[in-house]
Amino acid sequence: MLELRDLRKNYGKKTALAGVNLIFRQGIYGLLGPNGAGKSTMMNVIADVLDASAGEVLYDGQPIKKLGAQYRKKIAYLPQRVGYYADFTAEKTLAYFAGLRGVEKEEVDERIKYSLEAVNLTDAAKSRVGTFSGGMKQRLGIAITLVSDPEILILDEPTVGLDPKERIKFRNILVGLASEKTIILSTHIVSDVENIADQIILIKEGRIIGSGSKGEINGMLGDKRSEDTTLEDVYMNFYDERQEG
Amino acid sequence: MRYELYKLLKNRLLFVGIILSVVLTFYQSYERGKYLTYRYDSYSEKYSEEVKNELNGKFELWALRYKLTKKNGANSVFPDEMYERAGYTKEEAVSFTDGERQGIFDWFEYYLILSGRADSCQAGIDYRKKVVRNADRLRKTADTYQRRTNEKLFKMYADDVDYVVSDQRLSDDFRTQWYDKAYSDYINIMLVLLAVCIEFLTEHRNNTFQMVYSSYEGRGKTYIRKVMVIAGFTTLLSLVTTLLMHMRLFTDARAGEFLKMDFRNYYIHSPYKMNFLQFIVDIWLLRLLGYLVLSMFFTMLAVLSKKSLLPFVAGVSAGCGGYELFDRLLHRLGMLRMNNGDARNVYHTCELVRKYTPFGVIRQGIDYLTEYEPNNILGCPITTLTIAVVVSICYILLFLVAGCIIYLKRFRKKGV
Q: Encode pLDDT of B69-119 as tens digits.
A: 775 555 667 787 888 888 877 777 777 777 787 777 767 766 665 555 544
The ipTM is: 0.84
Answer for the pair A2, A59: CB distance below 8 angstroms, yes or no: yes
Return the amino acid letter for B34. K
Q: Where are the domains of chain A?
A: 26-74+153-162+181-245, 82-150
Non-local (6+) Cβ contacts of B264 within 8 A are B124
Q: Which residues of chain B lie closer than 8 angstroms to A44, CB-CB?
A: 210, 415-416
State the Cα–Cα distance between residues B94 and B110, nearest whole angstrom.
23
* Closest residue to B3, CB basis, from A48, A81, A99: A99
pLDDT tens sequence across A111-123: 999 888 888 888 8
Q: Chain B contact for A51, CB < 8 A?
A: yes
Chain A residues whose beta carbon lies within 8 Å of the beta carbon of residue B10 = 87-88
- What is the least distance, in Å, from the CA of B302 to any CA of chain A? 18
User: A87 at the B interface (CB within 8 A)?
Assistant: yes
- Count the residues in chain B: 416
Burial of B294 (C-beta count, 10 Å sphere; 0-12/13-18/19+): buried
Quick one: which of A214, A194, A184 has its CA closest to A3?
A184
* pLDDT band with cut points at 50, 70 and 90 for residue B272: low
What burial class does residue A179 get, using C-beta atoms within 10 Å of its C-beta: 0-12 exposed, 13-18 middle, 19+ buried? exposed
| A176 and chain B in contact, CB less than 8 A | no
B365 or A75, greater pLDDT = A75
Q: Please name the CATH architecture into which domain A26-74+153-162+181-245 falls.
A: 3-Layer(aba) Sandwich (3.40)
Rounded Cα distance between A22 and A29, Å, is: 11
Which residues, in sequence order, are CB contacts of B269 under 8 Å at separation 6+?
B128, B131, B149, B374, B376
Q: Is the dihedral of CA B75, B80, B81, B85 positive or negative?
A: positive
pLDDT of residue B227: 94
β-bridge pairing A54-59 and A207-212: unpaired
Report strand pairing: A207-212 vs A199-204. antiparallel
B55-59, B82-86, B135-139: which has the highest mean pLDDT?
A: B82-86
- For residue B229, the model assigns a pLDDT of 94
CA atoms within 13 A on the CB side of A99: 12
Residue A212 phi/psi, 5° resolution? 150, -170
A39 contact B CB<8A:
no
Distance from CA of A215 to the nearest CA of B (A): 34
Nearest to B352 by CA among B279, B260, B265: B279
Contact list in B for residue A75 (CB cut-off 8 A) is 214
Q: Which residues of A204-226 are buried (b: 16+ CB within 10 A; e: fewer)?
A: bebebbbbeebeebbebeeeeee
Provide the pLDDT for residue B111: 66
Please tell me which of the candidates B3, B7, B210 has its beta carbon nearest to residue A49: B210
At residue B167, the pLDDT reads: 38
- Residue B90 sits at the vertex; the CA angle it makes with B88 and B95, to the nearest 5 degrees, is 90
Contact B217 A41 (CB under 8 A): no
pLDDT tens digits for range B198-235: 888 878 777 788 888 888 888 888 899 999 999 999 99
Q: Give the chain A residue whose CA is nearest to the CA of B220.
A: A69
